[in-house]
Structure 1
């Protein structure tokens, strides 16, 4: 089920909230948790019920391993370490089979001219997210930072629908004490108001801004045979802002929906396009994934503890695997490599002691992110190179025909005047300019929520956003991170 669907907004969400608080009000605490678990699994199954046994198996497997790690806290370290390795290995095997089997088979066929048949598996919804969340839980259980002996509590921790599909990736200690708190079991009007504000802010970002930009991005990447300079930049920027408003919109909706249950999920998105270097970008973009990669991959690899050369190696490996986590394609791996390399260059630049003008620093960072998104979005290498060639001017420069009278002197330099293949270029340019202004100069939704005070003016504002967003639900589209 999608957050941006009539079924979710008008039926599932209100009924789930009312049922949860009604059961708690009656004193049926266990039934309230069970209601939320069943509702969350129903939410998950709406997409394809055939994968319900898969997530249930994954949850049960990790619950058994995690509770065993907690019970064996006094056992010799090798015993617990072997159990942890078995648990993580089981998770990675499950993820690898469904997400990467065909990728590896295809590459083996390419390298060795073999003809192994592809499995053509459908990627189970949210498998990357619930796998990473449970790996983090196992490590936390091993380090005695988390323990859970109640199956219903564990099922709620994994399946809670606001974060289930695309994050944030939550630690057990961040969420479950909130469910245990007696004061959180009662209806809280302020939290509901704040939750509605976040939810409809996110819905507006998704359906009004991101889905509009998606049309230009899809045309440029998937349909156009070539792109002139301006068209290529409009296409790349359309995707750059599409993924920003799509993912930040989802994050807002996830945090808003959880807050209506009196649960605060960790912030996952903090104005990343304001970053003035790539390290800052990753402290602001998909913050819980960055935290996971740092704590459970980069630091175990050695982090920065064994000299500069190994630090750079660890950065590259971390982001290569981070790219692969996003998708089973070499374009994703290359995208990860670019970001790992950028972090290495950033570290080397810091060692020189030189300082860059802040505006120039932002421009360099933003344009690097924009260029690298091309490989993230492209379905193939030729598709990515088509856009990059256009952005570099290798596919020609075309200006609107109406400018021929004033800029005709540029014709000898190879500038053409005519119609764009991209539809409504003026509208695209206007929306891109508005998007840039919003991400740079407008306070983000987390900052706005901190200062949010329920009242008539706020109700009118939220109601107007909700009305515009709901009226824009003409075609339901998935969130981009649902594919990962």
Structure 2
């Protein structure tokens, strides 16, 4: 279900909003949390109900592994087990076809492609939960019940397009008493941000998309001017699409008294490539810094290893964005910059 669809704006959002706050008022906060969790699963299942069990299994697995990390002396083994399973799940769905295509091209073999459909949001909920396991290993993950953990992973404003959220900042909000009471100021700000994002998505990005698609569909017969028109149309389509979704997500969160992290901060105003990556997909950059770059050594082991760590981090960011050599080369180029 897309944020800009009629079904979401006129049915799903008002029904979920009313059900959440009415349940909190007339029944209890726990029941209200359950309503929001079920609504988020419905939101996810609207795209394809067949992948709801996969999402639920992933949540259950990571919650149990996280608890086991906190209860056992073999914390490192449980962490490795949890992260490997998460990465394997993501790799199977997102990169199997790409891997087989590469093998076929290099070896001349003819492996059949399974054409696996990528589950919606799998990159986001995989990274979110892997970070939770790492923090559990570090002793930084507070213990919460399964229902609250489900809400953390599935909360619909972030589930399919980010931002990547962190349990240390979000879990306390899910159980705070003020979360379950209507806040007119938050609703007003949230609606404003949602409307701004909706305009960017529908009126700008979606109108630029046909222009970019038309140009890229006939790349072998373009004039100089058409090439620039297509490149600029795609550049601003991507910008306003991502910016719009980021603002809509934050706005939706505020309507439910949740402060999601800022994920986009005018990256085309950046002064250099480092500044760009501090502004573009900010939560992904933070995740890579905290759970990949710094654990590899960051900038603490000399300039050469710092460059290596930056290169690997950007390579992972490139691969995260898509399964293809163009994404890998793009990540390598960003790493070299």
TM-score interval for Structure 1 and Structure 2 normalised by the shorter chain: over 0.9
Partner of 1:180: 175
Post-superposition CA distance 1:327-380 (Å, at most 9, x none): 1100111111111111xxxxxxxxxxxxxxxxxxxxxxxxxxxxxxxxxxxxxx
Alpha-carbon distance between aligned partners in 2 of 1:316 and 1:222, rounded to the nearest angstrom: 32
For the 8 Å contact 1:69–1:83, the answer to whether it is kept is yes
The answer (yes or no) to whether the contact 1:67–1:149 under 8 Å persists in 2 is: no
- SS at structure 2 position matched to 1:170: coil
Partner of 2:66: 66
Q: Which structure 2 residues correspond to residues 347-386 of structure 1 after superposition, within 5 A?
A: none
Q: Is the 8 A contact 1:66 1:147 kept in 2?
A: no
After TM superposition, the structure 1 = structure 2 runs for residues 447-462 of structure 1, keeping only pairs within 5 Å, are none
What is aligned with 1:39?
39
Distance (whole Å) between structure 1 residues aligned to residue 50 and residue 154 of structure 2: 16
1:87 aligns with 2:82: yes
Q: Within 5 A, what are the aligned runs for 1:113-152? A: 113-152=108-147
SS of the aligned residue for 1:300 comes to coil
Distance 1:213 1:188 in 2: 36
Higher relative contact order (CA 8 A, sep 6+): 1
2:256 paired residue among 249, 257, 261: 261
Q: Using the alignment, how far apart are the partners of 1:312 and 1:129 within structure 2?
A: 27
Instruction: Report the alpha carbon displacement of residue 294 of structure 1 after superposing the two structures with TM.
Output: 1.0
Q: Is the 8 A contact 1:199 1:254 kept in 2?
A: yes
Deviation at 1:127, TM superposition (A): 0.5
Matched, 1:190 2:185: yes
Match for residue 299 of structure 1 among 291, 294, 298: 294
The answer on 1:215 being equivalent to 2:226 is no
CA shift for structure 1 position 108: 1.2
Query: Matches of 2:215 and 2:333 in 1, distance apart?
Result: 22
Contact 1:67/1:147 (<8 A) preserved: no
Report the CA distance between 1:149 and its aligned residue: 3.8
Secondary structure (helix, strand or coil) at the match of 1:323 reads: helix
* 1:158 correspondence with 2:127: no
Cα distance, 1:228 vs structure 2 = 2.1
TM-score by length of 2: 0.98
Report SS of the residue matched to 1:148. Answer: coil
Question: 3-state SS of the aligned residue for 2:161?
Answer: coil
The CA deviation at 1:271 is 0.8
Q: Tell me, what secondary structure is at the counterpart of 2:220?
A: coil
CA RMSD of aligned residues (A): 1.1
1:233-312 residue pairs with structure 2 within 5 A? 233-312=228-307
Instruction: Return the match for 1:168 from 156, 163, 184.
Output: 163
Tell me the SS of whatever aligns to 1:301.
Answer: coil
Once structures 1 and 2 are overlaid, which stretch shifts more, 13-22 or 292-301?
A: 292-301
- Contact kept, 8 Å, 1:66 with 1:148, in 2: the verdict is no
Aligned to 1:48: 48
What secondary structure is seen at the aligned counterpart in 2 of 1:210?
Answer: helix
Among 104, 109, 112, which residue is 1:109 paired with?
104
2:195 — aligned with what? 200
Q: TM-score, normalised by structure 1?
A: 0.68
1:115 CA drift (Å): 1.7
Unaligned runs of 5+ in 2: none
Alignment map for 1:470-481 (pairs within 5 Å) = none
CA–CA distance in 1 between the matches of 2:239 and 2:79? 36
1:27 Cα deviation after fit: 4.1
Name the CA distance, whole Å, in 1 between partners of 2:296 and 2:215.
39
Give a deviation string over 1:406-449, Cα, whole Å, max 9, x none: xxxxxxxxxxxxxxxxxxxxxxxxxxxxxxxxxxxxxxxxxxxx
Contact preservation (8 Å) 1:205, 1:246: yes
